[in-house]
A and B are shown apart, each in its own frame.
Chain A
Amino acid sequence: MRIRLSVLVNNEYGVLSRVANLFAARGYNIESLNVAPTHDEGVSRMTIVVEGEKEIVEQIEKQLNRMVNCLKVINLNDQPAVERELVLIKMHTNDTNRAEILRITDIFRGNIVDLSPESYTIAISGDSGKINAVISLLRSFGIKEIARTGLAALTRELKTN
């Protein structure tokens, strides 16, 4: 199953490698990984998305908890969370597709953040489902490049969804 973990760690060297190793040692490929400092500069939040067996990921959660520089592990599958991802999509454009690309960008509340005679770069944020939908819609117009941030997530305050 697809598992999402939010992990608070000390913001220091070696931590990323230790965390990544727990997955790598089992032959698990991390699907996406987002790391950045929190409001406390000494603490970073990692949001990890990985495809794996539930029991094994539970084991990894415990191993994360055991790590000296890991502060907290939250399994986002267990509780409601707000999730966002940002994607930058660079499109090949021409006179026939510009209007349609703009329309789709609009519908998905995206912005054009860079343009040239032959290209648009679109920025869109949303949950992973929305991002996937946009990408599959735009694919037929000719995608040049994509950069995704990977998931960023926080648990919801009110636990009723």
Chain B
Amino acid sequence: MKGYNIIVESLKKEGVDTIFGYPGGAIMAIDDALMDEKEIHYILARHEQGATHEADGYARATGKVGVVLATSGPGATNTITGIATAYMDSVPLVVLTGQVPTTLIGNDAFQEADTVGISRPCTKHNFLVKDVTELARTIKEAFYIAKSGKPGPVLIDLPKDVILGESRFVYPKNVKLSGYNPTTKGNPHQIEKVTKALLESKKPLLYIGGGAISSNASGQIAQLANRLQIPVFVTLMGQGAFDPESELFLGMAGMHGTYSSNMAIQNCDFLFSLGARFDDRITGKLDEFAARAKIAHIDVDPVSIGKNVITEYPIVGDLKNVLDQILEVMERIAEPVDFYKSKYKKWLETVNRWKTEHRLDYKKNPDVIKPQQAISCLSDILAGKNPIIAVGVGQHQMWAPQYMKLSRPRSFLTSGGLGTMGYGLPAAIGAQTAYKDRIVVDIDGDGSFQMNIQELATIVQEKLKLKIMIINNRYLGMVRQWQNLFFNNRYAHTDMTFQPDFVKVADAYGIEAGRVSKPDELNKAIRTMVEYDGAYLLDVIVDRLENVYPMVPSGAPLDRMILV
């Protein structure tokens, strides 16, 4: 069998139904083989960064591995931002890149780049396939590595002669990687210890991160929180892992977190991280972070444990499995629910007082739409519709989780770790291709949107019904906010007044669009967007100078928030 057929057949064995890509000389033969392929749908992006974020959005929304196909040289280098984005947020991808023939590697041949070299620091693993006989095994290993343990992107570099080579096709049944054995179950002794410590604590707090989403552990988390009646906060990456309507839910913590979450962190005596990694955007000033608390941390990645804070109870393992183990131990040793209801009553009351003392809030203005207002309005209109929300990076990325009620895991797509502007639109496209019938909205910034604006063509070509809601402040708003607070209002290079008419841009691509700038027309405009049977772009002209609050200034302790 030819190399390109081996690649396609291997992908089918892995259950791949969608590939995001862009063609070129080195990989043409694979494109050709895919052209008549019924089981795999090829989505033509308009830029390889777009293709990579699309595969990433697809992967985050479905939990499956996202697949990218790009050519050698510039095709491969264009995927790097997308790969680094996926790497930081532990998203499983397999990226196939073309390479010049093995005989030319290292010769500065046309469209040659050292793709394995460039991608090494931002992939979980990568391969250069030097012989066609290694193709099938390599693909098998790549998928296994991408999705097991702490998920992540894996790149396979495919020299042209390997793609065109000939070999017998045998897809291996098993993977043998002697150096790679991710821990899945928690150490029983540690589980016993942490469960006891949790039950003995007086002011426990659950801290939910992206690991809760990737290990599909939200059911177990709800059980644990409800069984003990203890409060819960989420990180940006943990959005959707806990019911936002629950009395136990405090919202998001950290730099733009809620008052109640941040106060709870500073006052709890037991902080239990479930797949969250104590990022500096969460902890604020480290020495004063959760200073009264013993810390427990479950993570599939030992590297994440004890990295920033001293952890009394480290547990390595897959979150879902470990929580099952903890729930089992609890069944054995915990008191009945009522016991904890009264034990934690006072703590919950305190936490709830913080909730009511300072709710997330903003001042409305009859003349201009507030960004928060637009997002709240969208949230109300989408209530019960199980939407998927993707965002760019900036202020709107913070307002979205603050004001959207996200009740399902895998429904909020954001570049949390790398903070990649331009992520929102392609990620939304990726999610929409997987869920044609769900409503997918890219809540984007005017700056971020322009970073992958070319993907509008992909939407049209794929006939997706994607919605794009631009929170248009004609500023690189988040940077402008920092300039406002820390640079004496000197708005260097952040004014985006020069921007295209987004409605006309959409129109040029053949996408329906509207614009709204009056608060009393907002609801109707958003309804029109949501109800439109097809792709729709809504340009929401908002108050240019609105800031995101609360805010913990970079380097300050969490309880020194700037409130509204």
Contacts and interface: CB of A to CB of B under 8 A. Distances in A.
Interface of A: 9-10, 13-14, 17-18, 21, 25, 59, 62-63, 65-71
B110 interface: no
B474 to A, nearest CB: 38
Contacts of B126: 14
Interface stretch (B115-123, B258-266, B346-354, B445-453): B115-123
Contacts of B301: 66
B120 A65 contact: no
Interface stretch (B85-93, B176-184, B214-222, B322-330): B176-184
Nearest to A58: B306
Given A10-B179, A14-B128, A71-B178, A66 B303 contact: yes
Contacts of B117: 17
B177 A17 contact: no
Given A14-B116, A14-B126, A71 B179 contact: yes
Contact of A21 (B120, B177, B179, B180): B120
B118 to A, nearest CB: 11
Contacts of B177: 68
Contacts of A71: 178-179
Contacts of B145: 68
Contacts, number: 38
A66 B180 CA distance: 7
Nearest to B301: A66
Interface residues of B, number: 18
A65 B177 CA distance: 13
16 contacts: A13-B128, A14-B126, A18-B120, A21-B120, A65-B302, A66-B150, A66-B302, A66-B303, A67-B179, A68-B124, A68-B145, A68-B177, A68-B179, A69-B125, A69-B180, A71-B178
Interface of B: 116-117, 120-121, 124-126, 128, 145, 150, 177-180, 301-303, 307
B155 to A, nearest CB: 11
A9 B302 contact: no
Given A14-B126, A68-B145, 19 more contacts: A9-B179, A13-B128, A14-B116, A14-B120, A14-B128, A17-B117, A21-B120, A21-B121, A25-B121, A62-B302, A62-B303, A63-B303, A65-B302, A67-B179, A68-B124, A68-B180, A69-B179, A70-B179, A71-B178
A57 B412 CA distance: 35
Nearest to B178: A71
A63 to B, nearest CB: 5
Contacts of A9: 179
Contact of A59 (B125, B150, B303): B303
A17 B179 contact: no
A25 B120 CA distance: 12
A65 B302 CA distance: 9
B307 A59 contact: yes
A66 B304 CA distance: 11
Q: Which of A10, A21, A66, A70 has the most CB of B within 10 A?
A: A66
B377 to A, nearest CB: 44
B124 to A, nearest CB: 7
Contacts of B302: 62, 65-66
